C-alpha cells in the first residue's frame, strides 16, 4: 500500500527513528501506526542488544544535589560526539536524578530498579536509549555522599564533564569546597592522607627508592635514611592533605583547610574512561562492514 509523507512524519515524531526506517515499518505493518511503533521498538531493541557489547569509554560525569545528599555519576558512550549530544545529556541527567532519589547500593541494583521509582527498569531505559542514539550507553559508576547540616559539598566539572570532583567538608564554606575540588581535578591525588596509603604500597615504593639509591652509588649504610627522606616526597605528591595547593603553592591543602577551619571528610574524582581498555579498530574495515550490510 502507498504510505503517505504525513504518516511517515507522524511515526518519526513518535519514535525519533529515521525516515527510511519509518517508511519500512509502515510498509511492513500495512500502515498500522501502533504496529509500526512496536515494529520499530523491536528492531531497535534487537539492535541495542548487539551494541551493548561494544566498548564505551567516552561519556560524561554529572552531579546532582538535594538537601544533605549529593551524587556523582559517570555514564559512558562510545564516542565523544555522542557525549555532546542533547539526547545523551538527557539520559545522563535522568540517571543522576534516579541515583539521587532511589539511592541504590550498586550499579547492578540501580539497573534493576524502576527508573525514578516508577515504570520501566533503568536497564530497559538504557536499552531504549541505545536504540534511539545508536551507540552503546552504560552506567559505569556512582558515589553518594550524605552530609550533616553544618557540612558543605563542593563540585567541579572540567572540560565539559570529562573530569568531575565531589568534595565533602566539615566546616568551611562552599567556595573552599569548590576550590579544593578544582585542586583535586588538577592534581589527581591518590589518597586523602598518609593513613589511607596501604602498607603494601609503601613497601613497594621503599623498595623502588632503595634500588634507585643503590643504583646512584649511594653507600649502603645511608640508603635507609635516603629512602625515608624520599618517601616523604611520595606522600607530598600523592596525599591530598600534603600536596601544594595549586592556587597558592606557598601552602599545602592541609594548611588551607586549617586556615578555613575546615576538615575534608571525603572526596571522589572521576575521569571519563579512566582504566577502560579500548581496542584499536580498523576504521576502513568498520566502514566497509557498514557498506556491505
pLDDT score for 55: 67
How many domains would you assign to the chain?
A: 2
Cell numbers for 268, please give them.
Answer: 571522589
Do 65 and 106 have their domain in common?
yes
pLDDT score for 45: 47
Q: Is 165 contained in some domain?
A: no
Do 47 and 73 have their domain in common?
no
Out of 99, 131, 146, a domain closes at: 146
- Say which CATH number the domain at 31 has: 1.10.8.10
Q: Is 206 contained in some domain?
A: no
Out of 117, 146, 175, a domain closes at: 146
Do 42 and 104 have their domain in common?
no
Q: Is 60 contained in some domain?
A: yes
Instruction: Of 77, 59, 63, 90, give the one whose Cα is nearest residue 144.
Output: 63
Q: Is 120 contained in some domain?
A: yes
Q: Is 154 contained in some domain?
A: no
Do 28 and 97 have their domain in common?
no
Backbone φ and ψ for 44, nearest 5 degrees, come out as: -65, -45
- What is the pTM assigned to this prediction? 0.75
Instruction: Of 16, 14, 15, 42, give the one whose Cα is nearest residue 28.
Output: 42
Q: Is 140 contained in some domain?
A: yes
Return d(Cα 234, Cα 198) in angstroms, integer.
Answer: 13
- Say which CATH number the domain at 68 has: 3.30.479.20
Q: Is 108 contained in some domain?
A: yes
Question: 129 exposed, middle or buried (CB, 10 Å; 0-12, 13-18, 19+)?
Answer: buried
Question: 137 exposed, middle or buried (CB, 10 Å; 0-12, 13-18, 19+)?
Answer: buried
Do 20 and 62 have their domain in common?
no
Instruction: Of 291, 277, 272, give the one whose Cα is nearest residue 73.
Output: 272
Instruction: Of 116, 112, 74, give the one whose Cα is nearest residue 92.
Output: 74
Backbone φ and ψ for 31, nearest 5 degrees, come out as: 80, 5
Structural domain of residue 24, as residue ranges? 5-51
In the chain, the percentage of residues whose pLDDT exceeds 90 is 62
pLDDT score for 279: 61
Q: With a cut of 50, which residues of the chain have pLDDT below it? A: 45-49, 282-283, 287, 290-291
Do 67 and 115 have their domain in common?
yes
Residues 6+ apart with CB under 8 A from 24: none
Q: Is 210 contained in some domain?
A: no
pLDDT score for 44: 64
Return d(Cα 21, Cα 84) in angstroms, integer.
Answer: 25
pLDDT tens digits for range 82-135: 899 999 999 999 999 999 999 999 999 999 999 999 989 999 999 889 888 888
Return d(Cα 258, Cα 86) in angstroms, integer.
Answer: 42
Do 25 and 101 have their domain in common?
no
pLDDT score for 48: 44
Between the two ends of the chain, the Cα-to-Cα distance in Å is 26
Tally the residues of the chain.
293
Residues 6+ apart with CB under 8 A from 245: 183, 251, 252, 253, 255, 256
Do 17 and 97 have their domain in common?
no
Do 71 and 105 have their domain in common?
yes
Out of 131, 146, 161, a domain closes at: 146
Do 76 and 38 have their domain in common?
no
DSSP the chain: ----HHHHHHHHHHH---HHHHHHHHHHTTT-HHHHHHHHHHHHHHHHHHHTTS---EEEEEEEEETTEEEEEEEEES-HHHHTSHHHHHHHHHHHHHHHHH--SSHHHHHHSBGGGSSSBHHHHHHHHHHHHSS--EEEEEEEEE--TTEEEEEEEETTTTEEEEEEEEES-HHHHHHHHHHHHHH--SBSSGGGS-HHHHHHHHHHHHHHHHHTT--HHHHHHHHHHHHHHHHHHHBGGGSEETTEEEEEHHHHHHHTTEEEEEEEEEETTTTPPPPP--HHHHHHHHHT-
Do 105 and 71 have their domain in common?
yes
Amino acid at each position: 500500500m502507498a504510505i503517505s509523507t504525513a504518516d511517515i512524519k507522524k511515526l518519526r515524531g513518535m519514535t525519533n527513528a529515521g525516515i527510511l526506517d519509518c517508511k519500512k515499518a509502515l510498509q511492513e505493518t500495512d500502515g498500522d501506526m501502533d504496529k509500526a511503533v512496536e515494529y520499530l521498538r523491536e528492531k531497535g531493541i534487537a539492535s541495542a542488544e548487539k551494541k551493548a557489547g561494544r566498548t564505551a569509554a567516552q561519556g560524561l560525569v554529572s552531579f546532582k544535589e538535594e538537601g544533605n545528599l549529593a551524587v556523582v555519576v559517570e555514564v559512558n558512550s562510545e564516542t565523544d560526539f555522542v557525549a555532546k549530544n542533547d539526547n545523551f545529556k538527557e539520559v545522563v541527567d535522568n540517571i543522576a536524578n534516579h541515583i539521587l532519589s532511589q539511592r541504590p547500593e550498586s550499579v547492578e541494583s540501580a539497573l534493576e530498579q524502576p527508573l525514578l521509582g516508577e515504570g520501566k527498569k533503568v536497564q530497559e531505559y538504557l536499552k531504549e536509549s541505545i536504540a534511539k542514539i545508536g551507540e552503546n550507553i552504560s552506567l559505569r559508576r556512582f558515589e553518594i555522599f550524605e552530609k550533616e547540616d553544618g557540612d558543605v559539598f563542593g563540585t567541579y566539572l572540567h572540560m565539559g564533564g570529562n573530569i568531575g570532583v565531589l568534595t565533602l567538608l566539615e566546616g568551611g564554606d562552599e567556595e573552599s569546597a569548590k576550590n579544593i575540588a578544582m585542586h583535586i581535578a588538577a592534581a589527581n591525588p591518590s589518597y586523602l592522607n598518609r593513613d589511607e596509603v596501604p602498607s603494601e604500597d609503601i613497601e613497594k615504593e621503599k623498595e623502588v627508592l632503595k634500588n634507585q639509591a643503590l643504583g646512584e652509588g649511594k653507600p649502603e649504610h645511608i640508603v635507609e635514611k635516603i629512602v625515608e627522606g624520599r618517601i616523604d616526597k611520595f606522600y607530598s605528591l600523592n596525599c591530598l592533605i600534603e600536596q601544594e595547593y595549586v592556587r597558592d603553592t606557598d601552602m599545602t591543602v592541609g594548611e588551607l583547610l586549617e586556615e578555613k577551619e575546615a576538615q575534608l571528610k571525603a572526596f571522589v574524582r572521576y575521569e571519563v574512561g579512566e582504566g577502560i581498555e579500548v581496542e584499536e579498530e580498523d576504521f576502513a574495515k568498520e566502514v566497509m562492514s557498514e557498506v556491505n550490510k
